[in-house]
Structures are given as C-alpha cells and as structure tokens.
Amino acid sequence: MGSPGLSNRNSSLQQRLGITGPISSSGPTEYDVAKSTELDKYLQDAGLYESREEAICREEVLGRLDQVHGPGADIDVLCVGPRHTTRDEDFFGELHKMLSKMPEVTELRPVPGARVPVMGFKFNNVSMDLLYANLSLWVIPEDLDLSQESILQNADEKSVLSLNGCRVTDQILNLVPNVQNYRTTLRCIKLWAKRRGIYSNVTGFLGGINWALLVARICQLYPNALPNILVSRFFRVYTQWQWPNPVMLCEIREDCLGLRIWDPRKHPSDKNHRMPIITPAYPCMNSSYNVSSSTLRIITEEFKRGGEICEDMEAKKKADWDTLFESFPFFEAYKNYLQIDISAENPDDLRNWKGWVMSRLRQLTLKVFTLSFIVYSFIYFLSLLSFYLFIF
C-alpha cells in the first residue's frame, strides 16, 4: 500500500528494461495521480491488503519458519537440501512425519507426483506450499545466493523447477522500473482475472506467475506511468498482441548448463504453445503451456472488454472501476452446462480427491473441445466442491 510514485530508478541514468524500448516515457498528470489514488482505495475496500490482525498472524508463522518472508494470500516456502538428502525419503518421508506431529499443522497434503512436487498444509491457519530442491552441495551455506546459475549445476528437473519459482520472482522485481507501481497494478489485474473467471492455470487459463509476467512487461513499456495508466495499457497492448508471439522481459539466455530452454526452433512441441509467456531466469520456460485455443479466445475477449472500459474511463464517460471489476455472469451467459460434484467420507479424503479431480479438469475441457459441435468451453469454480463446465 502507499501513494503512487514515479520510477524508483534515476530517470537520467535509467537503463532500458526489456527487449525493446518503451512505448511511452511520459510521466503522470494530476488526473492520473487522482485516478491511481482512487484505484488504490478501491483495492483496499476490496480487501486486497492485509488487515493488521492478518499481518501479525503471518509474521508469527514466518517467525516459526526461521524468518522466511513471502507476501500474498498464502506462503510459498522453498526447502533446500544438500546432495546426500533425498526428496522421497527425507522430504516426503522424515519431514512429512515431523510436520504431521506438530499441533500447529493441519490439512497436510503431500503431492509427490506433481510437476513441481509440493507439500501443502496450514500452519496456524495460514496456507503454505512447501517445495524442495536438492543441490549438489555437501553443505548448504546460510548466505546461499539462489540467483547464481551455478546453483542449478547437476540439479534434477524437479529441483530446477522448484528453485526457479524464487529465481523468477527475484528477476521480475529487478526488471521493472518501479516495484510499488508494479505491485499495485498486479493486484488490480489479479482481482480482475479472478472476477472474470480466468484466473487458473489448472483449467487452461493463467495463474499468478503468468499475470505477474504480463504486468511486468507493461511496466517496462510505460516506465513512468502510474497504476491507472498501466492497467489501461495492459488491456490495450494485449488486445492487440499477435499470439503466439512470446511475451518476454529479457532476451532468452543461451543454454549454458545443458538445461532445456524454450525454443520453438529446436523443440517442435514449443511450436504448439498458443500463448507463450516466457520466464526471465535461466532456464527460460513458457509459463503458460496450459493455455488452449479455447481458453486463449476467452482471455482475449476479456482483454478487449477491459480495454473498452478503460478507454471509456479515460474519456471520462460513465464507466468506472466497478464496471471493470464486475464479476462475470457465468450462469446467465450460456445455454449448456455440465456440473461436476465431488464427495468423500471425510475432509482429508475430500481434499485429496478434489486435488486429483482438479488436476484432470483441463484435459476434460480439451476433450470436450475436440467435439465437432463445440465452439469453445471453459471451467468455472463455484465452490471447492462443485465445478461447472460450459460447452457451446
């Protein structure tokens, strides 16, 4: 939270961020300052900032975790182990046993078979995702620097993916001209995506990292703009974007450790990606490989709607932030629906069953989309226990 600000990099010495120069380096007007302040208040009223009580609870949990810090609705924690430890025996074995005996830990759910293996749980009612990376070091130093590419040396694929969560986040913050304006804009876009029903990489839309990268690119293109303009330009740029041209914050680093990087010239499967959004840290990957032609169409339609509303706001017509963030009327928009209900005998089984079902939903939409009479389909989450699939 805080008042909008100009670039936090010296403008006279400001380096070019991104693979191209900015579209506009214009600074804000008095109107922009007023609209950005109005937008920030909207986010506060929408509950996008932590209350004092929530912040205290989170700090207590972080203190128990040896001063690990992480913002957001839940906490992502990376556990790093030396070469003689293993993911199966030590992380999902011994550490899982230790956590299961702690009274503060509830809803413990290991997912060793995921693309990025994780242990999810609640610690004093704060949701946490615990990842594990196995390094080739005999001893893990206290001042371990995750930004060094050498840390990936001899790491297995799952460890590389786990490490890159932190590495990508740090790199994004280094590649935007104003972190404060970036974070405010990202809060806006995340809220908008959730209310419009397109925030979920599990179902073929975009998740947190995808939206973070898209917003960061807009910040590079408009380095001195305040959040109200950044939100507007977000929709303008991506409405006109020619997919599958990739969104990138920096040039793709060449292969230096033998790890696979996104390169449609070398890897035929990369040519099939509909909406490439490339991570900036080595090894550069497409973070949005789940997007299908059906979900891409829906996303671009929402970009267009957002752009039209923002244009009306800039023209000082009737549109306002409430109009932009209006929830998508899913049950009024279509004619045909398929409802999926899941149930189990106890809460633990239900959580595991729900996770398995959710992991298969994207494949369901893809199979439905292959039917000749289906124009497009997408999933809407009404609650944790019911899913609706629209087919048209």
Asked if residue 158 belongs to a known ligand binding site, the reply is no
- The torsion defined by the Cα of 160, 165, 168 and 171, in degrees rounded to 10, comes to -110
Structure tokens belonging to residue 313: 């706001």
Are 339 and 331 within 8 A, CB to CB? Answer: no
75 annotated as a binding-site residue:
yes
Q: Does 312 show up as a binding residue in the annotation?
A: no
The span from the CA of 383 to the CA of 46, in Å, is 20
Name the 3-class secondary structure at 309: helix
DSSP letter string over 233-244? Answer: HHHHHHHH--TT
Contact 137, 92 (CB under 8 A): no
Q: Is 340 annotated as a binding residue?
A: no
Residue carrying structure tokens 């001209």: 177
| 320 annotated ligand binder | no
**Cβ neighbours around 275 below 10 Å, total:** 27
CA angle 50, 54, 56 (to 5 degrees): 115
User: Is residue 31 annotated as involved in ligand binding?
Assistant: no
Q: Which tokens hold the place of 176?
A: 């935007």
As annotated, the binding site includes 74-76, 129, 190, 199
Binding site members for Mg(2+):
74, 76, 129
Q: Which residues are annotated as a binding site for ATP?
A: 74-76, 129, 190, 199
